[in-house]
């Protein structure tokens, strides 16, 4: 379940979806304010990202304290008394109100239970209750499971490709590779987003039947670029980039940067994510994208 959101004007469907998602994950989601809670969230993020020895954590309890005190979004998901997930975000600058969701993580022992989904659905209800219609965040476009989660299960829309967004990173997940990110915009009052938050994933549009491949995986899981200016294309990513060695990971980073980032910069739009194989679906303007 989720604790009662603070604002009595919560949109009923958003609150109901948040309660249902937390109940399904068997967690209680609470806003965090006390230092012992915020330090527990710091430890959870460290457990997920595993920073290199001597390197700082992804976020400190002190920073989370400041965000919570300023009224930003800082929550934990609890299974009994144990924190199994956490999320933090802050408000963007005027004039367009939005919440930037900076970090969301689920402890290894809490994976595959719907806890991450419950946190995001709670975040949507929390933001809407405060008159904030949009949440934005970034993720690594090479991680197929996160692409499916963000684009299909949550219904968010990619709006920009950001090259080496964080610069060099030293944690166990990101070390040794440029930190390219895909920026997502989550329009919280979009009917497709509301449907996704009650378990109806957003389908790709248009139907992908006529799409031509712009990037595929070769027989050795190496990236293979294809020369196409078709109006509808797909950009494949490896099924598990974290299982690849440093060289193949860097090759995929460069290939996806060109095929996906280059097309977005040229005016293409990502309209969905497909599974088996894992690939982005893009519509291109009449002039086409990079060939």
Confidence band, pLDDT 50/70/90 cuts, at residue 207: confident
Chain segment 109-133, per-residue pLDDT in tens: 999 999 999 999 999 999 999 999 9
Angle between helices 35-49 and 61-69 in degrees, nearest 10: 130
| Tokens 């009052």, located at residue | 189
CA–CA dist 73, 77 (Å, integer)? 13
**pLDDT-based confidence at 209, cuts 50/70/90?**
confident
Q: What is the mean pLDDT of residues 26-45?
A: 98
DSSP string for residues in 225-246:
E-----SEEEEE--TTGGGS-H
How far apart are alpha carbons 287 and 91 in whole angstroms? 37
pTM of the predicted model as reported, rounded to 2 decimal places: 0.91
Span 225-232, mean pLDDT? 95
123 neighbors 99 (Cβ within 8 angstroms): yes
Does residue 199 have a pLDDT over 60? yes
What pLDDT is recorded for position 54? 87
Distant-in-sequence, close-in-space partners of 191: CB < 8 Å, separation ≥ 6: none
Class of the domain covering 12-196: alpha beta
Instruction: Provide the residue ranges of all domains of the chain, joining segments of one domain with +.
Output: 12-196, 208-283
Torsion of CA 60, 64, 67, 68, to 10 degrees: -170
Task: With CA atoms as reference, report the closest residue to 146 among 158, 159, 133.
Answer: 158
Residue-averaged pLDDT of the chain: 92
Average pLDDT over residues 19-48: 98
276 backbone φψ class: left, alpha, beta (φ>0; ψ -120 to 50): left
Q: Write the pLDDT tens digit of every residue in 17-32.
A: 999 999 999 999 999 9
Q: Does the pLDDT value for residue 210 go beyond 70?
A: yes
């Amino acid at each position: 379940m989720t604790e009662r959101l603070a604002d009595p004007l919560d949109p009923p469907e958003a609150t109901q979806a948040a309660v249902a998602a937390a109940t399904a994950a068997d967690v209680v989601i609470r806003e965090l304010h006390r230092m012992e809670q915020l330090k527990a969230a710091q430890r959870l993020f460290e457990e997920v990202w595993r920073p290199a020895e001597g390197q700082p954590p992804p976020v400190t309890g002190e920073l989370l304290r400041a965000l919570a005190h300023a009224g930003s979004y800082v929550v934990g998901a609890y299974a009994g008394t144990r924190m199994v997930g956490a999320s933090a975000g802050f408000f963007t600058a005027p004039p367009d109100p939005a919440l930037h969701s900076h970090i969301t993580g689920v402890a290894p022992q809490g994976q595959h239970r719907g806890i991450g989904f419950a946190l995001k659905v709670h975040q949507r209800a929390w933001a809407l209750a405060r008159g904030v219609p949009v949440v934005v965040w970034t993720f690594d476009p090479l991680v197929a499971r996160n692409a499916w989660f963000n684009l299909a299960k949550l219904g968010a829309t990619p709006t920009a490709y950001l090259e080496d967004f964080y610069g060099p990173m030293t944690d166990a997940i990101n070390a040794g590779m440029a930190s390219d990110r895909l920026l997502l915009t989550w329009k919280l009052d979009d009917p497709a987003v509301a449907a996704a938050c009650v378990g109806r994933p957003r389908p790709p549009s248009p139907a992908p039947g006529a799409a031509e491949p712009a990037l595929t995986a070769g027989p050795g899981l190496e990236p293979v670029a294809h020369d196409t200016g078709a109006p509808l294309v797909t950009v494949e990513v490896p099924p598990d980039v974290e299982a690849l060695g440093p060289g193949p990971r860097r090759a995929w980073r460069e290939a996806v940067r060109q095929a996906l980032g280059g097309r977005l910069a040229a005016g293409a739009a990502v309209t969905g994510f497909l599974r088996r194989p894992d690939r982005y679906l893009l519509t291109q303007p009449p002039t086409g994208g990079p060939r």
